[in-house]
Structure 1
Amino acid sequence: MNKKRLMHTPLQDLPNDVLKYCFSFIPGSYVTVGPVSKHFYSNYSTLGIHESASFNAADTLLQIGRNKRTTVGAVSSDLQLTEYCFIVGAPDKFMEKVCTEAAIKSRRDILDCSETFGINCKNIIERNSRGYSNRRIMDKLAEEGNLDMIKYLVRKYHLIRENSFSRIDDVFEGEDEGVIEGRLVFSGIDSVFNGAAKKGHLDILQWINENFPNYLNRTQTEHESMLEENGSYMFDTVFSEGNLATIKWFVDNIDLNIDSEEIYRMVAWRGELRIFEAMRGYYEPAIFNEEIFEVAALRGNVELLDYLYQNNCPFYSSENMYSKVLDQHDNDKALLAVKWLCCHNFPWDEETCASAASNKNLSALKWVRNEGCPWDERTLVEASWGYCGSKSDITEMIQYCIQHGCPLSSRACQYAMHNSDDSAALEVLKLLRTYSCPWDEKTCEDAADRQNFESLIWAKSNGCPWNPNTFLKVLSSRSITVIEYFLRSENELLSLDGIFERVFSSGGELGPHLGDKISDDSIIAKLKVLRSYGLPLTARACFLAAHLGRLRALQWLKYMECPWDVATCTGAVCGFQPEILKYAHENGCEWNENTYGWCFKYATEDEPLSSSVKMLQYLEENNCPKPSEIDRLFREMKAGSQPLSKE
């Protein structure tokens, strides 16, 4: 009985003496995986056919999940350990990780063993070579300069995509086995290129360029170059992370169709003076212009700035250079660049302090103020918002500004409400008010707009001016508590126009997205509160519910005996809501010629929605009145009449 036949023989039908005889011909390391091996492993001790120490080791060492020595790293480095894991039925996901690590370690024997036990190594290699989240295998091999293993994986597992310029036997130096003719680009080529470029493995880059020319070069005429899509990304990778040898090779060998100015700009962004100087001597003509200087300043690279300045590089002398420099994330580098600009007599103005405050660069703000840089109210305004995880950054900045005489402005309190964290917004607002910073209606309005309700209630309770628009913004939220807070003391708010629009929306304007972000439950809850404080329910509420497809809200309104009229059916038509149209009609809501007219307009457009066609059919079947002159009505509607103004 051969191995393949044995794999398909039900073990429960074989007596132990037959099993003993069969397995005596099979090496222990190649017992079949899966149910057979698990059954065999669980019974081998009673069969008495395995006397070697290796299987005793399996019994003690290879209990997956129990013995810490059977890690992915350990198994992927030991062929016997790999075989044992398969024999004892290690989980597939674990063994797939072993295969991944084995490929990175160039353990071809372990990959071969895994295939023997049924693991799809090709699928694993491809998964870990494509996309942006799993580029582990090719990345690691390329970074280590392991061209031999890259070629082995590409050849053995046929990691091929189409490209009309290479033959597989050329790529692998004329080896005979598995020659594949056709179009070639291998899966994972991006990872190989990036890894090799970063570490300077020119042999890998040369191999790609010679054997997959369509990937890098723009000189091919038969096929549109992949560089059209990938060139900028490759270029950035080489010049931002590659070593000097890689950069020189890339410039010499790849037709990028990118001028020398772009090359020097990227090298300047890289920020290494050694590479910049080398490229200047290697790649002529050297480009020194305002853009190169600005890049060095934006990177806060004082060493490169000195070099450019000494070599008479032209530069912009406008005041906004400070603002650009201060916008970078590294505050320490920004301060160094600010000092350099100041020492070289670059002009500054009030915007400089405002930029330092906006970027929460207190060190830079203090330094420029000590050097006499002017400021205005914008500095305090910018200091009051932009909370990003540390309240102390904002409070310390505000205290410095106010204690050193920065002009106050009500916009500071307003912008404090722009902090996304309500507790931070309130803390900043309280701090500003401690120093008597003025406020106005926009403080409450912006607090409501940003749903910083704790800040809103504190501001209103402490005398901050507000207007009815603040309440309308609150209605657009889901906070029943805050709605009631206003209604308890301000009953006249119920007479405001647009209340129902705010209840049904998160913005209050009728449009295609009205009601998209709010649930029926939230709408009903707000309507209940408003009704309990005396707001009469009107037909406008039913129209909005119908127009926005809020069937449950419409049903609740009818349960509460809210009136409706022909606008409800017309609203359902204009909102493309066939279910609501049917519900309204079947429950006694009226319709008229206008309802039919609007439905006819939408159903006869060049590409009508199926819902409009369905509703027109429903209106026909239920004898909805038609306009006497449907053609005239259609022309008028095409001319720009608005359906929401009709009844």
Structure 2
Amino acid sequence: MLTWAATNGGDAVKNTRIIAKGGDVRALRWAHEVAKLPWDESTSLSCAAGGHLDALVYALNHGCIYHDRTSVHAAAGGHLEVLEWMSMNEGMIHGRFRRDGCSTDDPHDHPVNGGNNWIRWHEDMAPEAALCGQLAVLQWLVGRSGPHIRGADVAATFASAAAKGHLDIVRWLRTQRFANGAQWDARTCTMAAAHGHLEVLQWAQANGCPWNYECAERAAMNGQLEVLMWARANGCPWSVEVCAHAAMHGQLDVLRWSKAHELPWDESACSAAARAGVLNVLVWLHHNGCPWDYQVCAAAAGGGHFEVLKWARAAGCPWNEQVCEEAAGEGNLGILQWAHEHHAPWDATACSAAAHEGHISLIQWMRARGCPWNEQCTAHAAHGGHLRLLEYLRENGCPWEEHTCANAAGGGHLEVLKWARANGCPWNGWV
């Protein structure tokens, strides 16, 4: 059955990867030597992720490429035997990198303490182990490579452990002494709060971990009300963005609590709800006294939320030229038509926004109804590489200036630049 399935299943490399994932070295040997199935670095990844050392050794011994995240997968799975073997076989591993055309002079390669052997240290290795709760792997990594772990990796490892609520790992990491005094940063509190791990947040704060505005904002985004209550009572930095994040993600309980405790909000909350299309939240905010401005209608138009826009206007929300600009940039003719029919103002920014995205039919529709344009329209078309649109604009009298060539060059659109110059467009040093 294996013979038939492996040789009649379409993607041969994928079939090899599936066999490697199973960890049967005899099956992998058959796939490589008998069925002649191809493999790539995903084979070594699959072996390491499953802790299949025999299969990994066989694959590398027979020319399989070593992916730079192989160690990350082994660490995440808690496969110490695989990591030990990797640390003792620098020659083979680096040979596999050379076969892939990669330099071995990599800043992520660090010598293992206590010997001349090497292990490929990937920046995600410790954070992934922490995320997966692999304390034994972290102890092994730090014991062998601790002095070489960069500060950014240490802080990311704390944050990963906090994100999954692994308080035992956070506590253990705090007992270690890393190079250059590397330790945790505000991300530890932010990740704990965002994922509702109040015990981790409390312990981190009690032990001097810094926090910032993002802590409350991420908790609000995910509706972590218990965390927010504790954070507010214990001096967590706070701003109007807490309510804006809650509004964008439909967290009405957080907004009700914020209102009851007279916490700050402003127009950004209504705009965030409109941008996300969360009409029930926008209605609640407006009915409970949250201020709004023209950005609400613009956000609804930009997000393509027609019903939100219509409700906001019916409820008296102001608008300005940005509504048509947002709708045109998104290529939303339905909203653009409705807005124009209901006397929404527009200016040249509407044509420019449409030009940037190459919406030639929208520009034609707007021009037929008197929407103005200017040099920014041709400049935006050039930046987006829209040569046919640029031709149309010039054929119909749209002006241009030096920014057209500069934008074509900046966007890497050589044909647009050549055409513009051949047709008399000025340029300057910005090109």
TM bracket (short chain): 0.5 to 0.7
CA distance in 1, matches of 2:15, 2:373: 66
1:298 aligns with 2:192: no
CA offsets 1:321-347 (integer angstroms, 9 cap, x no match): 3445667xxx35x66665665566531
Q: 1:304 to 1:282 in 2, by over 3 A?
A: farther
Amino acid at match of 1:545: A
CA RMSD of aligned residues (A): 4.9
Aligned AA for 2:48? A
Counterpart secondary structure, 1:507: helix
Distance 1:201 1:436 in 2: 65
Counterpart selection for 2:404 from 493, 502, 507: 507
Distance in 2, Cα, partners of 1:474 & 1:190: 40
Shift of 1:374: 0.9
2:288 match: 371
Larger Rg: 1
Alignment-derived partner of residue 97 in structure 2 = none
**Aligned AA (1:267):** A
The 2-side partners of 1:515 and 1:473 are apart by: 12
Matched, 1:517 2:418: no
Partner in structure 1 of residue 40 of structure 2? 128
TM-score, with length taken from structure 1: 0.46
Q: CA deviation at 1:430?
A: 1.5
Structure 1 residues 480 and 139, CA, compared in 2 at 3 Å: closer, same or farther?
closer
- Taking only the aligned residue pairs, the percentage that are identical comes to 17
Residue 243 in structure 1 maps to residue 133 in structure 2: yes
User: Against the structure 1 CA distance between its residues 361 and 251, is the aligned structure 2 distance closer, same or farther, given a 3 Å change threshold?
Assistant: farther
What residue in structure 2 maps to residue 70 of structure 1? 4
Structure 2: how far apart are the matches of 1:104 and 1:410? 56
Residue 395 of structure 1 and its aligned partner are, at CA, apart by: 0.6
Q: Which amino acid aligns with 1:400?
A: W
Tell me how many residue pairs correspond in the alignment.
373
Please report how far the alpha carbon of residue 196 of structure 1 lies from its aligned counterpart in structure 2 after TM superposition.
2.9
Q: Go from structure 1 to structure 2 and tell me whether the alpha carbon gap of 1:429 and 1:246 turns closer, same or farther (over 3 Å shift).
A: farther
Q: Is 1:478 aligned to 2:388, yes or no? A: yes
How far off its partner does 1:410 sit?
2.1
Q: Which residue of 1 aligns with 2:179?
A: none
Tell me how far 1:117 sits from its aligned partner: 5.0
Write the deviation string for residues 81-126 of structure 1: whole angstroms up to 9, x where unpaired: xxxxxxxxx99x987766554444344445555666594x7xx4xx
Q: For residue 147 of structure 1, what is the amino acid of its counterpart?
A: L
**Whole-angstrom CA distance in 2 between matches of 1:512 and 1:244:** 50
Aligned residue in 1 for 2:62:
157
Which structure carries more relative contact order (alpha carbon 8 Å, separation 6+)?
2
In the other structure, the counterpart of 1:316 is: 237
Do structure 1's residue 190 and structure 2's residue 190 form an aligned pair?
Answer: no
Instruction: Say if 1:439 and 1:281 are closer, same or farther in 2 by CA, change over 3 A.
Output: same
Change (3 A) 1:303 1:239: farther
- Which residue of 1 is the match for residue 54 of structure 2? 148
Deviations 1:200-247 (A, max 9, x none): 3344345445666995667589799854xx32x22443344x135467
Range that drifts further, 448-457 or 110-119: 110-119
1:51-109 residue CA offsets vs partner (Å, 9 max, x unmatched): xxxxxxxxxx99xxxxxx9222xx7xxxxxxxxxxxxxx99x98776655444434444
Counterpart mapping for 1:389-400 below 5 A: 391=304, 394-400=305-311
2:328, 2:353 within 8 Å by CA — same for their partners in 1?
Answer: yes
Which residue of the partner structure matches residue 204 of structure 1? Answer: 82
Cα distance in 2 for partners of 1:312, 1:283 equals 27
The CA distance in 2 between the partners of 1:414 and 1:219, in whole Å, is: 60
Residues 238-294 of structure 1, C-alpha deviations (whole Å, 9 max, x = no match): 344x135467546754513548765443334x2x34x2x444554447533553772
Gaps of 5+ in 2: 94-107, 176-202
Deviation string 1:501-521 (CA, Å, 9 cap, x unpaired) is 79xxx925699679723398x
Q: Does 1:413 align with 2:347?
A: no
Q: 355, 360, 376: which one pairs with 2:272?
A: 355
Cα distance in 2 for partners of 1:475, 1:114 equals 52
* Equivalent-residue separation in structure 2 for 1:336 and 1:248 (angstroms): 38
What TM-score comes out, normalization by structure 2 length? 0.65
